[in-house]
Amino acid sequence: MDANDNTQVPEAEPISGNLGLCAFVEKSHLFKKVDSVDLDLVYKAGWLCRYKAGQTVIAEGDQGVELYLIVQGTVQVVAQGVAGNVELARLSRGAIFGEVGFLTGKPRTASVLALDSVQLIRFSRRDLEAVLKKYPKVRKTLKVMMSARAEKTIEKTTAG
């Protein structure tokens, strides 16, 4: 891959064993209802990724079943609208994105770009499947989030 390629996949390191990151995940609104005995499954599923400003985290139309939790930095969510690219949101510490691909396995509905130096925890659907089965509220929270974002996306991308 070209060194200037903005879509390079960064190296990832496991969060399991990193007390600070595990505590951050535990306090996330997505995982706060998971029992302490099952949090280890969540920690083992999480991978810390770092992106530089300008790098693409996910690209609209790509396949992907990963969910991201922002630890540090800010990302911009953009989608193709009738009048070109439309900013859907700017997300920072504690925000979650990638829920559509994660839940449905369908292509990404938006691109996410790092606006500055960003640290994210990446979770794959396969690695979190046991948690989703045992804690339907986690899946429900993601579905509610997905539904609300879908409405905003349709509204913003169809405006001329």
User: 141 is written with which tokens?
Assistant: 């929270």
pTM: predicted TM-score of the whole model, two decimal places: 0.89
**Under 8 Å between Cβ of 135 and 89:** no
Q: What is the DSSP letter of 5?
A: -
Per-residue pLDDT at 22 exceeds 90: yes
Residue 9 confidence (pLDDT): 62
Query: Rounded mean pLDDT of the chain?
Result: 90
84-91 and 75-81 beta bridge pairing: antiparallel
pLDDT, tens digit, for every residue of 36-83?
A: 999 999 999 999 999 999 999 999 999 989 999 999 999 999 998 887
- Per-residue pLDDT band for 118 (boundaries 50, 70, 90) equals very high
**Helix, strand, coil percentages in the chain from 3-state DSSP, rounded to 5:** 35, 30, 35
What the chain holds in terms of domains, given with CATH numbers, is 12-153 (2.60.120.10)
Give the per-residue pLDDT at 1: 35
pLDDT at 160: 58
Give the model's pLDDT for residue 158. 81
pLDDT tens profile 2-13: 344 455 567 899
